């Protein structure tokens, strides 16, 4: 299975509600490796580029307003199949239909305020990582525990 990197955001609602540690805890415990992490304020330009696929949707102005309303925590996480794995851990976009055990299913009820973003494809992940991070911010390191998480990683 291909080792992938994916962009994760703890959105403004998650940061305000103190869910940063909980999101990181789940990703760390699962065995993914963090390669970049920062608290930041998203401006309108970055919000527009990040959510470019939704530019024509009626909810776009509200989405940009929300994601720029307060800081986010931006992170890059690495694992085999990381993109789909994080999407599964997030749960579906609308928390109302997100199963318990998923981040949205455990911590959210509102379609807009759904706590977490995760890239939806490896191609989009590469674009989003480049939007949020300079190459020098991506730390190349070995998580020694990884050899106990992925058999081939040793």
Nearest CA-CA partner of 18 in 70, 82, 77, 91: 70
- Contact criterion met (CB below 8 Å) for 82 and 31: no
Tell me if residue 117 is catalytic: yes
**Is residue 102 a contact point for ligand DAT (CB under 6 A)?**
no
The size of the interface with ligand DAT (CB under 6 A), counted in residues, is 9
Residue 112 interacts, among ligand DAT, Mg ion, none and using kind-specific CB cut-offs from 5 to 8 Å, with: ligand DAT
Helix (H, G, I), strand (E, B) or coil at 47: helix
Stretch that binds ligand DAT, among 14-22, 23-31, 113-121, 146-154 (CB under 6 A): 113-121
Contact string (CB under 5 A) for Mg ion, positions 106-125, x = contact: --------------x-----
- DSSP string across 62-96: HHHHHHTSS-EEEEEEEEETHHHHHHHHH--SSGG
Please list every residue from 49 through 68 that binds ligand DAT, using CB under 6 A.
54, 59, 63
Cβ–Cβ < 8 Å for 35, 138: yes
**59 is in the binding site of which of Mg ion, ligand DAT, none (Cβ under 5 to 8 A by kind)?**
ligand DAT
Task: Indicate whether 122 belongs to the interface with ligand DAT (CB under 6 A).
Answer: no
Contact 68, 41 (CB under 8 A): yes
Contact status: 127 vs ligand DAT (CB under 6 A): no
Distance CA 127, CA 12 (A): 21
Binding positions for Mg ion, rule: CB under 5 A: 120
Binding positions for ligand DAT, rule: CB under 6 A: 54, 59, 63, 93, 111-112, 114, 117, 120
Write out the catalytic residue numbers: 117
């Amino acid at each position: 299975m291909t080792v992938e990197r994916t962009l994760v955001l703890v959105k403004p609602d998650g940061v305000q509600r103190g869910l940063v540690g909980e999101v990181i805890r789940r990703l760390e415990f699962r065995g993914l490796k963090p390669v970049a992490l920062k608290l930041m304020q998203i401006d309108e330009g970055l919000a527009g580029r990040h959510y470019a696929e939704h530019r024509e949707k009626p909810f776009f102005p509200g989405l940009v307003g929300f994601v720029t309303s307060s800081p986010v925590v931006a992170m890059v996480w690495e694992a085999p199949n990381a993109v789909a794995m994080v999407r599964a851990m997030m749960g579906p976009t609308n928390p109302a239909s997100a199963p318990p055990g998923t981040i949205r299913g455990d911590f959210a009820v509102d379609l807009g305020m759904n706590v977490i973003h995760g890239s939806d494809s490896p191609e989009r992940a590469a674009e989003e990582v480049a939007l949020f991070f300079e190459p020098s911010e991506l730390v190349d390191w070995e998580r020694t525990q990884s050899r106990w998480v992925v058999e081939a990683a040793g």
